[in-house]
Structure 1
């Protein structure tokens, strides 16, 4: 299909950024007006912490969604696959109804499911499709791995907030599983993608070590406090380390394939 192009790659990155920032604003707004953030263990948020008016936070969310929709429409036009507009609309809806609307799915323990689908499969395999008009198995593996780490980010955040979320009626997956099982689920979500990278050995050979080398120590640093029983603010380092695992995984995998197929 002519391969990936720089304009399409840039548009895909811009789209991902707009939706990521938009969902954070939307989550901040919806949790804030519901009163979920009135008692918060983590860093203060804009709406709940009184740092910005609810209307301005909502406007920022809608602005990000609008810009993302515009960028996405251009990307769809370049790819020539107009059915992708439906995927984009679903992504925006998922971003808003995570904590917005009358029955937010994030309050029902389904947050990780949607994060895996949209932050993993759609963001990774979907981006590949817009570039190549196809999705090789390596991209599906990367999509599942990135989605799993994204779920871990949400899980460790929700483990920290189990007491306050349970009190406010926010039944996240961590609340439903309970503290001990939620910690095990988190550790699995971080460890499995790193171990799954070994499946790339047949495709990348020794370059697979380029992926594993930075991810293994970061994963260990992320998992250790969670399994040792850290609570509240003591879980913030794990949240940070999990984010670095996801970043390192993506960058290292990109570098490995760039070297393997210059």
Structure 2
């Protein structure tokens, strides 16, 4: 039976900044539109965080029963290591999904944006389908597309809309930026796993691109996430605060390009998550300073 520490490790808390970042950006964009609602922001955060933990357990379960995690470089996997029964991990995943849907229901009730119920159901199906089911899209190289969509526009603009009833250009571009950083994190994770994924037939985008091109794509996505803010700068010059992240991007980019050992890429995951969180905070600061 897995210990509490192992369950916490299996939740992969280091990935949670990726879930928090779009909510912070979306809430800041709502503030900029003159419609900040803290209760709805908290509910949106709960939905995002619970879904993220759920998908982490779901991936642990699905990869574990397929044997994908039998030889692993990264953090502990509950099923792959034999620390927990697959059925228990599956139940943990669906418990998180259920709680996320409950929080989402309260968010819809508060905002009266009933069509978002369909978005919420779609998010749960996407979370499970990444590695679950008969034809998981994560094994076909489509995971990056879904991560961009759900960790970018869906989470960010959904947060903004539930508070303001509309979205702005800044919100849209901010959603693209945080989505790109989320995909960059996934790319770093999948570059690390290229050898083992190739052996088990998990054709992630990193596997399809090849080691060298996949590493380069990380750098391109990180650079593009900041470059997009140039289009916001003419009306909101404080947005250039995000350029303060450039020094913090140098190390993970260097590790992606030059790190030969797979273990050397593990710190990149945490660094990228913190960069995304930093981006969201600086984006929010820019929205507030613009109004002063």
Give the unaligned 5+ runs of structure 2. Answer: 1-32
Quote the residue 2:256 is aligned against: 226
Give CA deviations for 1:33-62 in whole Å, capped at 9, x if unaligned. 111000111122111112222111111111
SS of residue paired to 1:100: coil
In the alignment, is residue 211 of structure 1 matched against residue 247 of structure 2? no
Quote the residue 1:22 is aligned against: 54
CA–CA separation in structure 1 for the residues paired with 2:162 and 2:61? 31
CA–CA separation in structure 1 for the residues paired with 2:52 and 2:157? 17
Quote the residue 1:10 is aligned against: 42
Give the unaligned 5+ runs of structure 1. Answer: none
Quote the residue 1:87 is aligned against: 119
1:147-186 equivalences in 2 (<5 Å): 147-186=179-218
Runs of 4+ deviating beyond 4 Å: none
For residue 4 of structure 1, report the CA deviation from its aligned partner. Answer: 2.6
Q: How many residues align?
A: 260
For residue 239 of structure 1, report the CA deviation from its aligned partner. Answer: 1.7
Contact 1:106 1:172 survives alignment (8 Å): yes
CA–CA separation in structure 2 for the residues paired with 1:6 and 1:245? 24
For residue 2 of structure 1, report the CA deviation from its aligned partner. Answer: 7.2
For residue 76 of structure 1, report the CA deviation from its aligned partner. Answer: 0.8
Q: Does 1 or 2 have the higher relative contact order (CA < 8 Å, sep 6+)? A: 2
CA–CA separation in structure 2 for the residues paired with 1:195 and 1:30? 36
Contact 1:197 1:212 survives alignment (8 Å): no
TM-score by length of 2: 0.86
CA–CA separation in structure 2 for the residues paired with 1:125 and 1:67? 21
CA–CA separation in structure 2 for the residues paired with 1:6 and 1:244? 23
In the alignment, is residue 246 of structure 1 matched against residue 276 of structure 2? yes
Which segment is superposed worse, 228-237 or 183-192? 228-237
Aligned residues: CA RMSD: 1.4
Quote the residue 2:178 is aligned against: 146
Contact 2:239 2:287 survives alignment (8 Å): no
CA–CA separation in structure 2 for the residues paired with 1:203 and 1:107? 42
